[in-house]
Every structure is written in C-alpha cells, then in structure tokens.
C-alpha cells in the first residue's frame, strides 16, 4: 500500500518547540502566560484594523462566546449559513436559540445575499427579528462582504464572522477575521495554522475582549475568595498551546502561498477537463485556498473519483453537507435555493496541505487523470 496522502495535515515550522520549552523552563504551564499574550499580539498585528484578540480553547468556544456577548438567549433566532461545518451552528443551540439556515450563492459558495434578505424579512414578519447572522468564509473564500454587511446594517443585525477556515484570506485588501461585529478563528489540527486545538475571538473593542476573557476563565469576580455573578466557562487557551501558535505565525504567509500554489497546479492541470469546474476568485476576493475544491459534472462522477482516490490511499472529501440536510437540524427554518445541496452532491475537496510534496501532488494528479481516462 502506498503511503497515505491526507487532505490537510499539521505542518510545523520548527520554531514551536522553542516557545514550548520556554513555557516549561519558566513553569508557565497554565491557561495564561507570556505565550498566550504573545500569540494574541502576533494575531493582532497580522489582522490589523485595530482589532483585539482573545486566545481560546477552540473556534467553537469563540463562536459560543460571540453569541453570549451579543446577548443571544433562549427563544432567540440566529441566522446561519447552511453550507458550513456543524460547529458554526451548534453554539446557537447551546444558548437555547433556534438556528435559521440560509443557502449559498454560486460565486463564493457562501451565504446568499438574496436568500439572506428574504429570510430576515420573513422572520421579522413572523414576529421575530434575528439576533445575529453567522457568515462563513468557506474553504478560505471570502463571502460577499459588501452585500452581506450592507444587508446586516440595513436591518441592524450584528454579524458573527466565522473565519475559522480563512486566516490569511482578504477582501479588497482587508483581512478576513476583521469584518464581523465579532469574528472567530480556529487553530484545529486541520486548519491553515494549528495549535493542535485552539481558537480565538476577534473583537472591535478592548472591553469586549475583557468580557470574553472573563467569561472564558470561569467568570471570577474581583474578590479574594471565589465569587461569581455570571455563569463562567473554561474556554481559555493554555500557554503551552499558545507556544505552538507563536511558532505557527512565523510561517502563516508561506502556508497560504503553498496552498494557493496547490490550487493553481490542480487548476492548470484540469481546467480543460469538461467534467471538472473550479471556484475562481471574484474581483476583490483573495482566498487562502485552505482546501482546493472542485465540482464534478454529477454525483456519480464525484463518488467515482472519491473512491478511485481512496483506492490509491489518497484522502478526499465531499464538500460540507449543508446544515438544513443534517438530521439534527431537519426541523430548523431554512431559506433555500438548491445551491448548497448541489455543491454537496457534486463537490470534492482534494489534498491541500501546505506540506504536500511534489511527489504527493503528482500522485494525486495522476490518480485523477487515470480515473478520467477510464470513466
């Protein structure tokens, strides 16, 4: 059996262990310390726009705290892009609120401005104005920032920007992770940089960050004993994990470059194959190409290709299954145009890691060519 080629695997810079060793040497083995502060500073200087960053245990915990900061509570409704990972939507339910799913458009595969406005108007007419909108830059491709935010502003609904997959992407020169009223990042093992597990909340004010850190560290009031006036969470990032993050920040831009180059190689090799289509960057959109994704001409071609790659020990995966099709969310209100379902049926993510070697890419490409030569 040939060695496994992964979709997206951790890729260390070598600098991580220096920061981790420092944490051990100084006994900062806790969910606070110089690496946590340093990693937050690194992210703040990378993102720019004067944003504040709170390093947390995961992207999911960052989403949960976003909703808490926005006052989402039992009985509320929150709009969420349907085509995404379940972690975008689950925190809505943690808060006892109801997710309202909105379908995608074809230019970026992200939340559709037309369906979004239909959804907002319809929810308002039913007596409930949505409390927040969760928009996602899927696979690193920025959503239609101007359109989505202008609709959100028109109805005065805050946007939680799920930038878990899009660190290093930008729209009209401004970094993803800075567009939301609140934004979140993820450093899970498969993301563009990883801390093994981790995430961050990006805020516009220092006081929002303070509040998030307060809630993330068990909401301890200022007293010599343990006293609580709020329900707290254990969501802070550890100083060891943040050390990995500091090492990873040194190679973020080169990871983006390599992932973009993977995508270009697939594109240049297969652009004339009439059974394969690619997602191109619309004007102003710069994708980190976290995952290289293609659409096939049918479900059958997609499944055939996926299985052919699997036989070669190459990992690939269908595009995210939309939330409105997930058993757990089948009863949630949804505003649909068929786009995300079609993408789910015909789309495939190809191996995309920044650590893919030329030999590995060649193996993937030759497996795809062989498949199309016989099918």
Ligand X SMILES: *Cc1c(COP(=O)(O)O)cnc(C)c1O
Residues of this chain that bind ligand X (CB under 6 A):
58-60, 84-85, 87-88, 136, 162, 164-165, 186, 188, 199
Nearest CA among 137, 130, 181 for reference residue 160 = 181
Which C-beta is closer to ligand X: that of 58 or that of 354? 58
CB of 85 to ligand X, least distance (A): 4
Which C-beta is closer to ligand X: that of 119 or that of 291? 291
Classify residue 333 as exposed, middle or buried by CB count within 10 Å of its CB (0-12, 13-18, 19+). Answer: middle
Give the three-class secondary structure for 210.
helix
Please count the residues of the chain: 375
Find all residues with CB under 8 Å of 207, minimum gap 6, and list them: none
Which C-beta is closer to ligand X: that of 169 or that of 301? 169
Which C-beta is closer to ligand X: that of 164 or that of 314? 164
Cβ proximity of 347 and 319 under 8 Å: yes
CB-nearest residue to ligand X: 59
CB of 295 to ligand X, least distance (A): 19
CB of 14 to ligand X, least distance (A): 23
In terms of C-beta distances under 8 Å and separation of at least 24 residues, what long-range contacts does 247-250 make, across chains too?
247/12, 247/13, 247/14, 247/15, 247/16, 247/17, 247/18, 247/19, 248/12, 248/13, 248/16, 248/187, 248/193, 248/194, 248/195, 249/39, 249/42, 249/43, 249/46, 249/193, 250/13, 250/15
CB of 98 to ligand X, least distance (A): 19
Which C-beta is closer to ligand X: that of 140 or that of 367? 140
Distance CA(349)–CA(255), nearest Å, equals 18
Region of 6 please: left (phi>0), alpha (psi -120 to 50) or beta.
beta
Cβ proximity of 39 and 246 under 8 Å: yes
CB of 87 to ligand X, least distance (A): 4
Which C-beta is closer to ligand X: that of 35 or that of 186? 186
CB of 90 to ligand X, least distance (A): 9
CB of 199 to ligand X, least distance (A): 4
Find all residues with CB under 8 Å of 321, minimum gap 6, and list them: 344
Which C-beta is closer to ligand X: that of 158 or that of 199? 199
């Amino acid at each position: 059996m040939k060695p496994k080629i992964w979709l997206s695997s951790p890729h260390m810079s070598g600098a991580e262990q220096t920061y981790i060793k420092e944490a051990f040497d100084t006994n900062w083995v806790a969910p606070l310390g110089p690496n946590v502060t340093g990693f937050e500073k690194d992210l703040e200087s990378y993102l720019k726009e004067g944003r504040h960053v709170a390093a947390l245990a995961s992207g999911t915990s960052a989403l949960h705290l976003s909703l808490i900061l926005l006052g989402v509570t039992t009985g509320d409704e929150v709009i969420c892009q349907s085509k995404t990972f379940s972690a975008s939507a689950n925190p809505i339910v943690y808060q006892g609120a109801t997710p309202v799913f909105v379908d995608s458009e074809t230019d970026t595969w992200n939340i559709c401005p037309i369906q979004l406005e239909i959804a907002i108007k319809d929810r308002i007419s039913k007596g409930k104005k949505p409390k927040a909108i969760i928009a996602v830059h899927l696979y690193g491709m920025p959503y239609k920032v101007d359109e989505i935010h202008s609709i959100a502003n028109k109805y005065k609904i805050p946007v939680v920007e799920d930038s878990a997959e899009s660190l290093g992407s930008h729209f009209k020169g401004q970094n993803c992770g800075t567009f939301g009223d609140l934004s979140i990042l993820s450093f899970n093992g498969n993301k563009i940089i990883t801390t093994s597990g981790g995430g961050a909340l990006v805020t516009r004010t220092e006081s929002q960050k303070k509040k998030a850190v307060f809630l993330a560290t068990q909401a301890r009031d200022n007293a010599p004993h343990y006293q609580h006036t709020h329900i707290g969470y254990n969501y802070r990032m550890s100083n060891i994990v943040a050390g990995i993050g500091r090492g990873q920040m040194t190679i973020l831009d080169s990871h983006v470059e390599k992932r973009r180059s993977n995508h270009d190689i697939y594109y240049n090799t297969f652009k004339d194959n009439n059974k394969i289509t690619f997602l191109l960057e619309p004007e102003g959109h710069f994708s980190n190409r976290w995952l290289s994704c293609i659409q096939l001409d049918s479900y059958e071609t997609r499944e055939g290709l996926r299985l052919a790659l699997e036989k070669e020990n190459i990992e690939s995966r269908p595009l995210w299954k939309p939330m409105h099709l997930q058993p757990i969310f089948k009863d949630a209100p949804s505003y649909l145009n068929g786009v995300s379902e079609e993408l789910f049926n015909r789309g495939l993510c190809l191996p995309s890691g920044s650590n893919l070697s030329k030999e590995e890419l060649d193996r993937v490409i030759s497996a795809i060519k062989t498949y199309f030569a016989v099918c």
